[in-house]
Amino acid sequence: MKLNVTEIRKDFPILERETRSGVRLTYLDSTATSQKPLSVIQAMDDFYRRSNANIHRGVHTLAEESTALYESARDRIAKFINAGSARQIIYTRNTTESINLVAYSWARANLKQGDLVILTEMEHHSNLVPWHMLQAERGIELDFITVTEDGVLDLEVYKSLLSRRPKLVSFTHMSNVLGTVNPAAEMIKLAHEVDAIVLVDGAQSVPHLKVDVQALDADFYAFSAHKMCGPTGIGALYGKIELLEAMPPFLGGGDMIKEVKLRSFRANTLPHKFEAGTPAIAEAIGFGAAVDYLTKIGMENISAHEHEITEYALERLEEIPGLKLFGPSADKKGGVAAFTLDGIHPHDVAQILDQDGIAIRAGHHCAQPLHEKFGIPATSRASFYMYNTKEEVDLLVNGIYKVKETFK
Amino acid sequence: MDDLYREVIIEHYKNPGYRGKLDPHDISFADNNPLCGDHIQIDLRVGTDGVVTDARFDGHGCAISQASADLLIESIIGKPLEEIKKLNKESILELLGIELGPVRLKCALLSLKVLKAGVYGLGEASDELVE
């Protein structure tokens, strides 16, 4: 079904704002964080106005309501990615914390010196640094699936790395710079053939594609609410039950325990075992409202709309002399267009576009090794979501011509 | 904001007068802006009286960072090191002649941080050097 973008835009009050007098916001930075629909803002506002109390321990009305809202959000998030059970959804702060949870709990219990972990050259720093840290601590080995010139993973390299019997393969489902959607199902199947565990960074995929963790057969799947219409400060880790149950706790404290003695504790059952301390309750409720919103619009419809916008954007951007695009063609990628402009630094591009209310991102987008691979310090990146239009792409293109004029 | 890309900045970015390296040199220091990867190296020749006789900068980054480096180098040749130690954020803003938000301020101040870290013989170009 074709999206009614005019109606959708009305759900996002921020899109109406001006960044300066007479200049309306053109928000092309959803890959960094998406805007939030009214239903999410209201769900969190309602919670604080009506139900706010700490969860799980209390018996009073508000505590019960808060707990029910917090847990019902977990149920809907589980359904949204087709997890077998809500017990498999661990609330975290964000994708980064989800990956760190696997690195601290699963990996420290299962990896020893010399064990191989396979990553890719297109990873976000959040799926590199936790493994660098473990390498320093444990002496694990890291190797990387290379990225080809057109911005896709080289699966032949992957297959040869798998012959070295890795213990873990961890990769992004969708690159936050190139936009490349990696063949996750195929990659997971290949990894399982050599008995490797697979962690998928879904920060960019869950907001934009229909993700089914069971169909993918992912062992762990990490994502953040704030890139999918939800609030900041909350994310999730999905894991297979038998893995999560065998893992030691991550952070220690309240709520993650079943029983505490002066000198010992027994860990709580899933998912609470991994959720120490008072969590981000309002944010979890906002996360639930966000998946409700995305479900209502329909993930297939969102993907189709973004594809149309991306195809148009790549076509228009390609016309601009001196502009170089990074990443594969529109059929292999999500709604991301990273580019450089001859002789003009990305920061200057972003700054001048901002004068016209156009918000894009400039820098290495937390993927420094990928930029080094392409021999550039930084790129400018425009990204698209369900609320973006072709008219906004035109504004971007006109803005880029203005940048070139400034530096003429 | 419109003034950000006023002519003097574009001019110093595109045609810097002091880009390059000095070999030999008496002081050389380089550092990055970790936020955006901008990189600046500064080489100085210093006379026995402690006065900078020649200076160059090299590196890559946005127009603000590179133009401010060029303007800074231009301004310190012939100055004693003791005077360079006194330079701060205001000195750079005066050279650039523009107002800057907190993010772009970091771009503008990178060269001064590198310069002062070199002059003081420090291992790292920290923010405190330019406050």
Rounded percentage of chain B residues whose pLDDT exceeds 90: 68
A152, A108, A116: which is closest to A134 by C-alpha? A108
Rounded to an integer, the average pLDDT of B98-112 is: 88
- Can you list the domains of chain A with their CATH numbers? 5-29+299-406 (3.90.1150.10), 52-296 (3.40.640.10)
A125, A76, A130: which is closest to A288 by C-alpha? A76
Q: For residue B24, count CB atoms less than 10 angstroms from its CB and return exposed for 0-12, middle for 13-18, buried for 19 or more.
A: exposed
Residue of B nearest to A368 (CA): B37
- B2-121 CATH fold: Sufe protein. Chain: A (3.90.1010)
Residue B4 touches chain A, beta carbons under 8 Å:
yes
Phi-psi region of A308 (alpha: psi -120 to 50; beta: other; left: phi over 0): alpha
**Contact: A351, B104; criterion CB under 8 Å:** yes
Instruction: Give how far the C-alpha of residue A53 lies from the chain's centroid of Cα atoms, to the nearest Å.
Output: 29
Instruction: Show residues of chain B in contact with A343, CB under 8 Å.
Output: 14
- Give residue ranges of A with CB < 8 Å to any B CB: 343-348, 351-352, 354-355, 362-364, 368, 371, 377-378, 406-407
Between CA A350 and CA A399 the distance in angstroms is 10
A28 within 8 A of A360, measured Cβ to Cβ: yes
pLDDT of residue A150: 93
pLDDT of residue B2: 56
pLDDT over 90 (residue B32)? no
Measure A13 CA to nearest chain B CA, in Å: 26
Instruction: Show residues of chain A in contact with B1, CB under 8 Å.
Output: 354-355
A256 within 8 A of A267, measured Cβ to Cβ: yes
What is the pTM (predicted TM-score) of this model?
0.91
A210, A174, A376: which is closest to A297 by C-alpha? A210
**Contact: A347, B64; criterion CB under 8 Å:** yes
DSSP A156-215: HHHHHHHTT--SEEEEESB-TTT-BB--HHHHHHHHHHTT-EEEEE-TTTTTTS---HHH
Residue of B nearest to A363 (CA): B36
Torsion angles phi and psi, residue A136, rounded to 5: -65, -35
Between CA B121 and CA B116 the distance in angstroms is 8
A301, A311, A31: which is closest to A176 by C-alpha? A31
Measure A354 CA to nearest chain B CA, in Å: 10
pLDDT of residue B67: 94
Catalytic residues of A: 366
Token output for A149: 């010139």
Residue of A nearest to B12 (CA): A407
pLDDT over 90 (residue B5)? no
pLDDT under 50: residue ranges of chain A: none
What SS3 class is residue A147? Answer: strand
pLDDT over 80 (residue B86)? yes
The beta-carbon neighbor of A377 closest among B1, B4, B37 is B37
pLDDT of residue A143: 98
Residue window 68-87, chain B: list those with CB within 8 Å of chain A.
Answer: none
> Is 0.85 exceeded by the ipTM?
no
What SS3 class is residue B62? Answer: coil
What digits encode the pLDDT tens for the residues A156-202?
999 999 999 999 999 999 999 999 999 999 999 999 999 999 999 99
Contacts 24+ apart (CB under 8 A), B124-130: B124/B31, B125/B29, B125/B31, B130/B87, B130/B88, B130/B89, B130/B92
Residue of A nearest to B5 (CA): A406
Q: How many CB pairs under 8 A join A and B?
A: 48
What digits encode the pLDDT tens for the residues B35-66?
667 889 999 999 999 999 999 999 999 999 99
pLDDT of residue B98: 86
CB atoms within 10 A of CB A195: 9
B96 within 8 A of B70, measured Cβ to Cβ: no
pLDDT of residue B1: 44
A144 within 8 A of A169, measured Cβ to Cβ: no
Residue of B nearest to A346 (CA): B62
**Bridge partners, residue A141, by sequence:** A116
Between CA A306 and CA A335 the distance in angstroms is 6
Residue of B nearest to A349 (CA): B62
Residue B1 touches chain A, beta carbons under 8 Å:
yes
B51 within 8 A of B30, measured Cβ to Cβ: no
Instruction: Show residues of chain A in contact with B60, CB under 8 Å.
Output: 345, 377
Measure A97 CA to nearest chain B CA, in Å: 21
Q: For residue A385, count CB atoms less than 10 angstroms from its CB and return exposed for 0-12, middle for 13-18, buried for 19 or more.
A: buried
Measure A344 CA to nearest chain B CA, in Å: 7
Token output for B27: 């002081």
Instruction: Show residues of chain B in contact with A347, CB under 8 Å.
Output: 36, 61-64, 104, 107
**Contact: B10, A355; criterion CB under 8 Å:** no
pLDDT of residue A353: 97
In the numeric block, the tokens 């990146």 are attached to: A381
Q: For residue B51, count CB atoms less than 10 angstroms from its CB and return exposed for 0-12, middle for 13-18, buried for 19 or more.
A: middle
Q: For residue A156, count CB atoms less than 10 angstroms from its CB and return exposed for 0-12, middle for 13-18, buried for 19 or more.
A: exposed
Token output for B87: 């330079």
The residues spanned by each domain of chain B are 2-121
Token output for A235: 């994310």
**Contact: A355, B1; criterion CB under 8 Å:** yes
**Contact: A362, B36; criterion CB under 8 Å:** yes
Measure B104 CA to nearest chain A CA, in Å: 9
Amino acid identity of A312? Y
A3, A84, A85: which is closest to A384 by C-alpha? A3
Measure B125 CA to nearest chain A CA, in Å: 20
Dihedral angle, C-alpha A264, A268, A273, A276, nearest 10 °: -70
What SS3 class is residue A68? Answer: helix
**Contact: A351, B38; criterion CB under 8 Å:** no
Residue B104 touches chain A, beta carbons under 8 Å:
yes
